[in-house]
Structure 1
Amino acid sequence: MQVKIIVHEAEEGGFWAEVPAIPGCVSQGETLDELDDNIREAILGCLSIEPLEPVSEGFERTLELAV
């Protein structure tokens, strides 16, 4: 499943992200790696689905940054 995530720099530091296709689905993190983990968890929670098996190395991700 591919979902567009819009990432913003937070005024107080760190980052926050929103998922336009899922109203109210947002998360934050101090680093982009932390944000990546948090927004994935938020998406799963918003969709109320079980997480998939861990993805092998080399998995390609698309991340759009709003600057």
Structure 2
Amino acid sequence: MLRYFTLEYWLDDGWYVGKLKEVPGVFSQGQTLEELEDNLREAFQLMMAEEESLPFENVYSKEFAVAV
């Protein structure tokens, strides 16, 4: 299954640095844009694997409003 995210990236001292806009905490870098994309894919997959192994039995969610 493919999921699509927004990659926000910038150059910092010759490195491509980026994050997935919709997934807080998934950042990476690479010497090329392609390497950055590969590293972000790996970071996302590692985060998802870790989240699946969390020891919580009952996890709840709900929508809530924030004024902006």
TM-score (norm 2): 0.58
SS state of the match for residue 44, structure 1?
A: helix
Higher normalized helix content (fraction of residues)? 2
Runs of 4+ in 1 over 4 A off after TM superposition: none
Partner of 2:44: 43
- Percent identity, please: 31
Q: How far 1:4 moved relative to its partner?
A: 1.3
Partner of 2:63: none
The letter of the residue matching 2:30 is G
**Whose radius of gyration is greater, 1 or 2?**
2
Q: How does 1:1-67 map to 2 (within 5 A)?
A: 1-48=2-49
Q: Which 5+ residue runs of structure 1 have no aligned equivalent?
A: 50-67
Distance in 2 (CA, whole Å) between partners of 1:4 and 1:22 is 8
> Do the aligned residues in 2 keep the contact of 1:5 with 1:17 (CA within 8 Å)?
no
Deviations along 1:7-45, one digit per CA (max 9) or x if unpaired, are: 322221121111122211111101012112101100101
Higher relative contact order (CA 8 A, sep 6+): 1
Distance in 1 (CA, whole Å) between partners of 2:4 and 2:44 is 9
